[in-house]
């Protein structure tokens, strides 16, 4: 696990604490969405290049969601949509297992009927975790730039540049 140090977080938090709660939540939702975007884009690229997806449905299904609960704003990069359920299998792989029919006596696979099929499993092809690891600094910078732009738009001077350094 890597660590990211951001200069000026205390000052930013002190400033945000002075804003009305609704304004702070709206700014933070947008900021976290902006920060999650580089991670989403990298996850999509990782998925396209690791040879796991042919249809592209899972790539299109990688989304960013935000929510605010009890004053805590979060953003999530997640898979959804038609093929969203297979993301965990691709990310973590699967163990060897037997496939049995649910409502029939046999399965039809590769032109043959069988009562059970032995699946050899699949090796992991991570795409989400590497995106998070590779783009965390970009995410922090995007959050800072979004906050600065929103405050400037509201007529509040946000001094300084966003600086990120590895620990």
- CA–CA separation, 86 and 80 (whole Å): 10
Strands (E), 21-104: 62-69, 72-79, 97-99
Q: What is the pLDDT of residue 20?
A: 72
Residue pLDDT, tens place only, 14-40: 766 777 777 777 888 999 999 999 999
pTM of the model: 0.77
User: Is 31 within 8 Å of 147 (Cβ atoms)?
Assistant: yes
Residue pLDDT, tens place only, 95-125: 999 999 888 888 888 888 888 988 999 999 9
For the record, the structure tokens of 72 come out as 């805590």
């Amino acid at each position: 696990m890597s660590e990211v140090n951001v200069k000026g977080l205390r000052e930013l938090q002190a400033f945000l604490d002075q804003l009305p709660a609704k304004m702070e939540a709206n700014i933070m939702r947008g900021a976290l969405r902006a920060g999650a975007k580089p991670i989403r884009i990298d996850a999509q690229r990782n998925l396209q290049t690791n040879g796991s997806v042919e249809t592209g449905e899972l790539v299109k299904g990688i989304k960013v969601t935000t929510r605010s609960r009890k004053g805590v704003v979060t953003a999530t990069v997640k898979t959804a949509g038609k093929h969203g359920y297979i993301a965990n299998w691709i990310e973590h792989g699967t163990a060897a297992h037997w496939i049995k029919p649910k409502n029939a006596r046999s399965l039809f696979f590769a032109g043959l009927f069988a009562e059970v099929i032995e699946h050899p499993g699949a090796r992991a092809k991570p795409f989400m975790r590497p995106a998070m690891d590779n783009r965390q600094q970009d995410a922090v910078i995007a959050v800072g730039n979004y906050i600065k732009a929103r405050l400037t738009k509201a007529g509040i001077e946000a001094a300084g540049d966003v600086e990120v350094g590895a620990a």
